[in-house]
Structures are given as C-alpha cells and as structure tokens.
C-alpha cells in the first residue's frame, strides 16, 4: 500500500506556491495605433471590463496628460478609469525620457502632469517613461530625491514582455481582415507572457511581481486570456502597494529580457495587399 501511494504521489503534478502579481497599465489615455472602429475610450472600457470581470484589485494606470491638452475629449478615458474605482499614477506629462532632459525639465514634466491626477486616490506613484531612470548618477539621484520630497513611491517593474509591440501589427491585421494573422498574434502574445513570467520567477524568485502592460487595443482584446493564463501559472492578484511593500526605492529590481521576436511582429500584415 505504501509503495502504491508513493507511485501515485510521484505521478501528481508539482504545484508551485501561489505568488503575488500586481497589474499596472501605462500610457493612459493614448497608446499606439487604433484598429478600424476603435476609439481610445472603447479600448479603455474593454480593458476596464476585463479587469473587473477578473476581480483585479486596484490596477494602476500611469498617465501622460499631454494628449489631453490637444484633445480634451480624452479626459473621458481618465474619467472611466476613476469611475471604475481604479487609481491613476504619474508617468510624466509627455512620456519624457530622463536621459534627454535636464533634471529641472524632467521635474517640471512630473509636476505639470499632477493636475490630471488629483481626483484619483493615492496618485503618488511614479513610473519612469521607457523605464529609463537616468544613466547619469547625479541626475538619477536628484530625481529620486525630488520624487521622495513630493511624496512619490516608484512603481518598479519586475515582469514585462514588451506587449506594446503587438498593438501596431494588430491594427494593420484588423484593417486587412486577416484573421489567421490575428490568431497568430494571439498565440505569440500569450507565449511571450508565459515565458516572461517563468523568466521572472527564475531571476527573482519569491518576490511579489509587478507587471507592465499598456493601454493598447490588442492588450484590451487579450486581457481576459492573459489574466486567466496568469492564474493558471499560479499567480494571485494583489495591489501595487501590496506588491511593492518590501521594494527598496533606491534600487531597481532586475528585469529579464523580454522573450519577443520584434522583427517578426513588425513584419506581420505589413506587406501590401
């Protein structure tokens, strides 16, 4: 009997312990190309619905408010996010690259963006655009001092699969009604997300993870499948403050390379009909 029990136990899959994962979304209200028939608000609403259906707790969206100055109707995207009970964070006014600006100009980008955030609870979370935290040590230290002085926490990223690379090919494939190509985009997207999660666990085992994705049309389409896949991988969803409660703002956790063939995605649906 003991031998039979041992055989049965050895035949069972080894279940990894659940790990915490926070979902964060960059570039509200505008990110990448739109497929035919979509609007910025419809993309946001699809993403919100998927997050609500999956009961994701307080997913942060990081805002660049410059497009709203050009098109005030885009305020509706932020309103929809807040109406869902989801918080907003600061991603600079114009998605500025710290390495191309002075510290003073980058600080101005941060403060100028705050007006769009003040109606959101707990908006003092900051994400560096392009995840560029400054190659010059003095500038890097100055921005971290400035953020701390203004009460910000840094929204570090510990899981990323360069999801933004799918949004333009998706818009092209939708315009061409190429359903086979869209199905392949879906397969590649989920495979890259799965591999990135495995890589993050190997590189930084045992931590709570923070996923970076974008408010893109393909991301909105894939959100239900993506969240279901993370649950199948053993993740449980938590808030950004919960995930980063033990992170050190003076350091950036390591991030593995994203498992993506960018050239392959760029070529999809790009040939003339």
Q: Using one digit for the tens of pLDDT, what is the confidence trace for 132-180?
A: 999 999 999 999 999 999 999 999 999 999 999 999 999 999 999 999 9
- What mean pLDDT do residues 212-226 have? 98
Residue 42 lies in a domain: yes
Residue 187 lies in a domain: no
Say whether 57 sits in a helix, a strand or coil: coil
Q: Is the peptide bond before 69 cis (omega within 30 degrees of 0)?
A: no
Return the C-alpha torsion angle 123, 124, 130, 134, nearest 10: 170
Are the beta carbons of 208 and 238 closer than 8 angstroms? yes
DSSP string, 5-40: HHHHHHTS--PPPPEEEEEEEEEET--S---TT--H
Residue 191 lies in a domain: no
Name the pLDDT band for 272 (thresholds 50, 70, 90).
low
Phi, psi of 260 (to 5 degrees): -135, 135
- What mean pLDDT do residues 76-93 have? 97
Q: How many distinct structural domains can be found in the chain?
A: 1
Residue 80 lies in a domain: yes
Question: By residue range, what is the domain housing residue 119?
Answer: 23-161+205-255
Residue 172 lies in a domain: no
Residue 169 lies in a domain: no
* Residue pointed to by tokens 């309103």: 79
212 vs 164: CA distance, rounded Å: 10
| pLDDT of 92 strictly over 90 | yes
Q: Residue 55 sits in a domain of what CATH number?
A: 3.20.20.370
Residue 141 lies in a domain: yes
Residue 61 lies in a domain: yes
């Amino acid at each position: 009997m003991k031998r039979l029990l041992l055989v049965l136990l050895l035949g069972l899959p080894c279940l990894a312990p659940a790990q915490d994962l926070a979902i964060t979304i960059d570039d509200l209200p505008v990110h990448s190309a739109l497929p035919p028939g979509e609007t910025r608000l419809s993309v946001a609403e699809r993403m919100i619905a998927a997050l609500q259906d999956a009961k994701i707790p307080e997913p942060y969206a990081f805002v660049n408010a410059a497009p709203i100055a050009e098109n005030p109707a885009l305020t509706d995207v932020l309103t929809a996010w807040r109406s869902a009970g989801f918080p907003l964070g600061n991603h600079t006014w114009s998605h500025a690259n710290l390495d191309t600006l002075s510290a003073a100009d980058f600080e101005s980008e941060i403060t100028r963006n705050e007006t769009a955030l003040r109606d959101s609870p707990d908006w003092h979370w900051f994400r560096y655009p392009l995840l560029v935290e400054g190659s010059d040590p003095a500038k890097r230290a100055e921005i971290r001092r400035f953020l701390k002085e203004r009460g910000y926490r840094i929204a570090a990223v510990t899981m990323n699969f360069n999801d933004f690379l799918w949004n333009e090919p998706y818009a092209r494939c939708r315009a061409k009604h190429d359903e086979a190509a869209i199905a392949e985009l879906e397969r590649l997207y989920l495979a890259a997300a799965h591999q990135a999660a495995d890589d993050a666990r190997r590189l930084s085992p045992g931590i709570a993870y923070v996923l970076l994705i974008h408010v893109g049309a393909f991301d909105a389409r894939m959100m239900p499948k993506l969240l279901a896949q993370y649950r199948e991988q053993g993740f449980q969803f938590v808030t950004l403050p919960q995930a980063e409660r033990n992170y050190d703002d003076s350091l950036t956790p390591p991030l593995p390379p994203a498992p993506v063939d960018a050239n392959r995605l760029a070529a999809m649906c790009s040939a003339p009909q």
